[in-house]
Structure 1
Amino acid sequence: MRAILLGGGLALLISLLGTRVAIAQFTKLGYGQEIREDGPLTHHSKRGTPTMGGVVIILATVIGYLVAKLMTGQQPSASAWLLLFLFVGTGVVGFLDDVIKIFKQRNLGLRSKAKMIGQTIVALVFGALALWHHFADDEGYTPASDRLSFLRDWGWTLPTVVVLAVIWFFVTGFSNAVNLTDGLDGLATGACALVFGAYTIVGIWQFNQACHTTVNNKCYEVRDPLDLAVVAAAIAGACIGFLWWNASPAQIFMGDTGSLALGAALAGIAVLSRTELLVVILGGLFVMVTLSVILQVSWFKATRRFTGTGRRIFRIAPIHHHFEMLGWEQVTVVIRFWIVTGLFVAVGVGIFYAEWVAAN
């Protein structure tokens, strides 16, 4: 438990102080954000705001976690190393995307195909290693499972290729979902802090009811639940520290470096904690934002095909920009979407706890 407090606290402090340094350095180097031309006009004033702040979030998380383990005299677990690999790996893909945007002075960085290839490579390597029996613990639990999971494993054992496809879908899906959500000052950062905070609670509970310490029909077959909670707390702390500078009016953006990494880490912790479908509820805001884009594009293409004129469901997608177009202040949209995230988190954690209570 000390490692959780140390990891979260150190990551918060490093992020809070490190982001201030990053703002000064990125401003000096001219690493400014480009703005999409078809977005709300109020966003044009943000052009030139330092970006790539996700570098600070990633460094704060990794350093906070490793120092916490060192101070408590504990060895990092296989699950934590894999989650950090996924976190940093997708962050590198986002970093390349941000660098291209900066040096080519455009709002589009890596081509979508190149970005997907990078995410796919990282996701499949993560999945393959997480399923590798070399990383099984004394009870035989590998970091990832070969079955689907909601609150715990259920159903039939799946072929490895199917499991890898599921892991790829969740990693790339949530990575891009957080990226889509990162369109307003502090929106994605605050939402991620809430969701990773929830996963800290889930990890602690799974550790207290783990099968290697508590033998009953509803114990949790998770390899390293407490260490996953340490990483989750470190990510949540890093997001909170970054939010101090990222809240409206933002002095720095996380860029794709941060959003792709955070989304992938969210999917990764869901896979490693055997809560793959629960993350759809806990991260419901990210799902909602992604669905708004899918619906907008699908409806536009369908109506253009059959009527000759493309029509839109929302004034603009993702959905948070739609509310801006309706006249809502940016801060109002962000706070209300944080509230929505809080409700999703409350429902998800409530379902997680209620299932355990009903079974005992």
Structure 2
Amino acid sequence: FAISASLGRWAVPWLQDLKTGQIIREEGPQAHQMKAGTPTMGGLFFIPVALLVGAIATNFSISVLAAIGLTLLYGAIGWLDDWRVIQRKSNKGISPRTKLILQVGGAIVFALWLFTHHAPDITTIHFPFGLALPLGVLFWLLAGFVPVAQSNATNFTDGLDGLAAGTAALTFLGLAILTAASSPDLMILSACLSGACLGFLVYNRNPARVFMGDTGSLAMGGAMAAIALISGQLFGLLILSGIFFAESLSVMLQVGYFKATKDENGTGKRLFKMAPLHHHFELSGWSELKVVGTFYGVTVVLMAIAIGLCGHYA
């Protein structure tokens, strides 16, 4: 926390000097237009801090290095997208197809590493009350899917000041608690990431002085997925990530319903006033602070549930 918060005092002005101002999408809530020009790519300063401290504190543990590798790879994909947005001075970065191909490629590489270094029972998903689901070879498909899904869900959540950083800090804290007994090295990395997110929140809270960009959100999602896959805490991550997946699901439902109800003029109906979900609440009259505070509260409850249900087999 202290390193990330201290580094931000130098990094935020540096990002401003680089003219990394955020381009706000025109179809978004009009209140967000005043945020145009706020520097983005804040993930460049708080993510590396967490990874470096985590690596040193765990004496460069192989499992931590693997998680760091996926985190950096997804952060690089996010940086490429952010950089293209800044270059084009629009909200269009690399194409969704290119981004997806890069994400899937990174997930496959990570899954291959996991295949050669995994624990004997890693292909079994553990649930509360002693229940377990042996997936066998299907687990490796899941291992390729989870990083892509988690990183995109985290990216969708990064739409309000402090929302993604705060919920990620709580999620990483939950992962640290769940992995403390079985994977102490990953516990340390999770704690470092949680602290770094809180340090970034000093500058990202409302009114935000910097945004994390895809550089930060994709990296955080990749880190969550890697930690959960290596430690066998996929079910715990599913609970902890309730807000992230609600945001992602709202986008999928919105797009699907719009296409299903599209008439001959190309006009369809919408389930939500706007997606992702946080924008729906904004357009329903909620203040940005109320939405963020509520989502924090929900994440705290989800963290308590995850610890209560999954902590006994951690």
TM norm structure 1: 0.83
- Equivalent of 1:331, from 289, 292, 296? 289
SS of the aligned residue for 2:132 comes to coil
Aligned positions of 1:21-60 closer than 5 A: 21-60=10-49
Runs of 4+ in 1 over 6 A off after TM superposition: none
Aligned positions of 1:128-139 closer than 5 A: 128-132=112-116, 135=117
TM norm structure 2: 0.94
Q: Distance in 2 between matches of 1:148 and 1:131?
A: 15
Q: Distance in 1 between matches of 2:76 and 2:18?
A: 20
Equivalent in the alignment of 1:259: 217
Aligned positions of 1:313-352 closer than 5 A: 313-352=271-310
Q: Is the 8 A contact 1:150 1:274 kept in 2?
A: no
1:242 paired to 2:200: yes
Aligned positions of 1:1-360 closer than 5 A: 12-69=1-58, 75-132=59-116, 135=117, 141=119, 145-150=122-127, 154-156=132-134, 158-159=136-137, 162-204=138-180, 206-207=181-182, 225-304=183-262, 309-353=267-311, 355=312
| Mean CA deviation greater in 51-60 or 242-251 | 51-60
1:80-115 per-residue CA deviation (whole Å, 9 max, x = no partner) reads 111011111100000100110111111121100111
Identity %, equivalent residues: 39
5+ residue gaps, structure 2, are: none
Report the Cα offset of residue 156 of structure 1: 3.2
Report the Cα offset of residue 306 of structure 1: 9.1
5+ residue gaps, structure 1, are: 1-11, 70-74, 208-224
Q: Distance in 2 between matches of 1:294 and 1:29?
A: 35
Q: Is the 8 A contact 1:148 1:276 kept in 2?
A: yes
What is the one-letter code of the residue matched to 1:96? L
Structure 2 CA distance for partners of 1:309 and 1:48, relative to 1, 3 Å: closer
Structure 2 CA distance for partners of 1:153 and 1:258, relative to 1, 3 Å: farther
Q: Distance in 2 between matches of 1:128 and 1:67?
A: 25
Q: Distance in 2 between matches of 1:183 and 1:58?
A: 18
Q: Is the 8 A contact 2:23 2:89 kept in 1?
A: yes
> Considering only CA atoms, is the larger Rg found in Structure 1 or Structure 2?
1
SS of the aligned residue for 1:33 comes to coil
Report the Cα offset of residue 68 of structure 1: 2.5
Q: CA RMSD in A?
A: 2.0
Q: Is the 8 A contact 2:178 2:233 kept in 1?
A: no
Structure 2 CA distance for partners of 1:127 and 1:186, relative to 1, 3 Å: same
Q: Distance in 2 between matches of 1:33 and 1:308?
A: 30
Report the Cα offset of residue 356 of structure 1: 5.0
SS of the aligned residue for 2:262 comes to helix
SS of the aligned residue for 2:261 comes to helix
Q: Is the 8 A contact 1:150 1:276 kept in 2?
A: no
